Amino acid sequence: MSVRKLTRMMILVDAAQFLMGLLILCGLHFRFLAYSPLLVDATLCMVLLSTLLTVYSLFSVTWYQKHNYEDMLKVLEGQNMKLREQRHDYLNQIQIVYGLLELEEYKEAQKYMKTIFKEVTKISRVLKTSKPAVNALLQAKIGAAEQKEINFALSVHTQLEALPLESWEFCKVLSNLIDNSVTAVLQSSEDRRIYLCLEEDASQYRVYISNTGPMITEEQKKLLFRPGYTTKQQEGHGMGLTIVSSIVKECKGTIEVESDEDETSFTVTFPKKRVE
């Protein structure tokens, strides 16, 4: 059960308890309810049940958030380590460029600088949203994909400032979509490409991701978001897209799948949060 559903349940239970108590007090005061031990027992049972449900909801929310925060902390720790390694590497690269310039090897220095610039732009291209957790996740996923010799293209045209969900929930959507695409393209021995685009318009955010993995048939599309269903051969799959679908529906968003022999794409939309 999601945090939103648990929160709504807590509010409904507390509201029901308040209204029931108010009705009983009014009934006793205006004497259209007679005092009886049965009425007292029923009231006590209602209070006890309400308390148990509230405690359960609070415990579930706390566990759910703790679990997700731990996942995001691991991502941020990995990103921090990666940035430290890159800083050390860039210092070495600068020394090499300086040495080439000292030797008046200008063409080699220019060639070397192009390579370094390409690496720098890989980092800067993901640091565009207002959500540090999203930036860290994208950087980590791009690095992991490129280590597997996957061409990962990213286009960001939004700050994600009015997301209708928490950053860590949005990260779960992105993470599962990216992981699904990575697994798909790894089944292709030649053209391994993933394209991810984050953008917005006046009313919604749009996440578009495509990959050059195997085609998904119309029959498979109907089963794609069911728990445990997977088109992959490896074990451990089958819940990622189900999680994505659950979060999207909870936010009243949409998710569409298109697939042909050339590529498969997922388009996810989220309505913007109203700012009062």
CATH code for the domain in which residue 225 is found:
3.30.565.10
99 in a domain, yes or no?
Answer: no
Statement to judge: residues 163 and 57 lie in one domain? no
Same domain, 134 and 226: yes
The answer to whether position 73 is within a domain reads: no
Q: How confident is the model at residue 75 (pLDDT cuts 50, 70, 90)?
A: low
For residue 5, name the pLDDT band (cuts at 50, 70, 90). low
Reported confidence tier of residue 200, pLDDT bands at 50, 70, 90:
very high
Number of structural domains in the chain: 2
Question: Which domain, by its residues, includes 33?
Answer: 3-66
- Does residue 119 lie in a domain region? no
Who wins on pLDDT, 162 or 114?
A: 162
Same domain as 133, residue 61:
no
Give the tens place of pLDDT for each residue, 154-167.
Answer: 888 899 999 999 88
Average pLDDT over residues 21-40: 67
pLDDT above 70 for 249: yes
Same domain, yes or no, for 171 and 242? yes
Which one of 47, 66, 85 terminates a domain?
Answer: 66
pLDDT at residue 3 above 70?
A: no
Tens-digit pLDDT profile for residues 214-241: 999 998 888 888 876 666 554 445 578 8
> Is residue 39 located within the same domain as residue 166?
no
Give the confidence band of 19 by pLDDT, cuts at 50, 70, 90: confident
Tell whether 150 and 237 lie within a shared domain.
yes
Residues 183 and 51 in one domain: no
- The predicted model gives 103-129 an average pLDDT of 72
Do residues 180 and 251 share a domain?
yes
pLDDT at 190: 79
For residues 60 and 144, membership in a common domain is answered with no
> Same domain for 142 and 260?
yes
Question: What per-residue confidence (pLDDT) applies to 91?
Answer: 72
Q: Which residue has the higher pLDDT, 195 or 57?
A: 195
Report yes or no on 71 lying in a domain: no
Q: What is the mean pLDDT of residues 39-54?
A: 69
Last residue of some domain: 45, 66, 87? 66
Of 19, 48, 66, at which residue does a domain stop?
A: 66
Q: What is the pLDDT at residue 26?
A: 74
What pLDDT shows up at residue 110? 83
Three-state SS string over the chain comes to: CCHHHHHHHHHHHHHHHHHHHHHHHHHHHHCCCCCCHHHHHHHHHHHHHHHHHHHHHHHHHHHHHHHHHHHHHHHHHHHHHHHHHHHHHHHHHHHHHHHHHHCCCHHHHHHHHHHHHHHHHHHHCCCCCCCHHHHHHHHHHHHHHHHCCCEEEEEECCCCCCCCCCHHHHHHHHHHHHHHHHHHHCCCCCCCEEEEEEEECCCEEEEEEEECCCCCCHHHHHHCCCCCCCCCCCCCCCCHHHHHHHHHHHCCCEEEEEECCCCEEEEEEEECCCCC
